[in-house]
Amino acid sequence: MSVSPSGAGRYAPSPSGDLHFGNLRTAVLAWLFARRSGRRFLLRVEDIDTQRSSTESADRQIEDLLTLGLDFDGEVWNQQDRYPAYEAAVEELRARGLVYECYCSRREIREASGAPHVLPGCYPGTCRDLDDVTRDRRRAELAADNRVPALRLRAEVTEWTVRDHYAGDYTGEVDDLVLRRGGQCPDWAYNLAVTVDDAAQGVDQVVRGRDLLSSAPRQAYLAHLLGYPEVGYVHVPLVLGPERKRLAKRDGAVTLRQMLEHGSMAGVRSRIARSVGVDGVSDMGDLLERFDPAALPGDDVVWVAPDQRGR
């Protein structure tokens, strides 16, 4: 792994609840990859979803990460402080004719996305080429309901290729992704915010769960349009619940605070270390010294709650 003294890795949780074991494991992996490659390691609070985010959750998440033993460089960034930067990025794209309004409801998008000629999960371009009269009418209809249109990128490609540490060259679909969500609460979209912020913070290594691999081409393409440097991706295996679905609170004592009710911090660290391929370690410094990216298990981890382990 090449050393990048001027680059950075990051962990960027959404403050909508306490971090569970899978979140903590991904945070540790992001820290390990950054520190082993000589990068700065940053923490960013991705709180653009104003309907779900809370300051209390953010504070608890930060406390848990520090208690676990992770250290960060610089100040914590909050995306709610970054709205002018997102607006500037959209205006740059708009000046080049790469932004248009979208008036579709979620139901309309879902129904149109099910058409045979549309790639699953991709926006079908319903509002891409509407005439001015239709746009004025649709905009007025939304305004009458105290809503605003979404803003979408007018993509000029249908796919893009990124380089991932484990997956290699990965080519995924690119559609007219949302830049700003519509409705009565027009929050900035995740794909825009994460792309702008990674560039602003000098992040050149993104470590996250491999369920997000398919979103990397969209973000990389957007970064390309905005003239940002390429990012190196590291998509890692997930932690799944007992039924091999996304880990959730119903799966037992999954948060750090819950796990500490059943055991020690050393036990939590040891369990995370084992899950990333390092046995017999309960100290973060020792884990950093012994961690080998090539030895990271390739299979997803299936969660077993501490009380189910006889502890």
d(CA 22, CA 34): 18
| CATH 3.90.800.10-classified regions of the chain | 83-193
Residue 311: what pLDDT? 40
Q: How far is CA 62 from CA 18, 20, 176, 186, 261, in A?
A: 10, 13, 34, 27, 19
**Superfamily of domain covering 83-193:** Glutamyl-tRNA Synthetase; Domain 3 (3.90.800.10)
Q: Where does CATH 3.40.50.620 sit in the chain?
A: 8-81+237-309
Mind spelling out the 3-state secondary structure of the chain? CCCCCCCEEEECCCCCCCCEHHHHHHHHHHHHHHHHCCCEEEEEECCCCCCCCCHHHHHHHHHHHHHHCCCCCCCCEEHHHCHHHHHHHHHHHHHCCCEEEECCCHHHHHHHHCCCCCCCCCCCCCCCCCCHHHHHHHHHHHHHCCCECEEEECCCCCEEEEEECCCEEEEEECCCCEEECCECCCCECHHHHHHHHHHHCCEEEEEEEHHHHHHHHHHHHHHHHCCCCCCEEEEECCEECCCCCECCHHHCCCEHHHHHHHCCHHHHHHHHHHHCCCCCCCCHHHHHHHCCHHHCCCCCEECCCHHHHCC
What pLDDT sits at residue 165? 98
Per-residue pLDDT of the chain (311 residues; tens, 9 = 90+): 333 446 999 999 999 889 999 999 999 999 999 999 999 999 999 999 877 778 999 999 999 999 999 999 999 999 999 999 999 999 999 999 999 999 998 887 776 655 444 455 689 899 999 999 999 999 999 999 999 999 999 999 999 999 999 999 999 999 999 999 998 888 999 999 999 999 999 999 999 999 999 999 999 999 999 999 999 999 999 999 888 888 877 777 789 999 999 899 999 999 999 999 999 999 999 999 999 999 999 999 998 876 544 44
Q: Classify domain 8-81+237-309 at the CATH class level.
A: alpha beta
pLDDT at 4: 44
> Whole-model pTM?
0.92
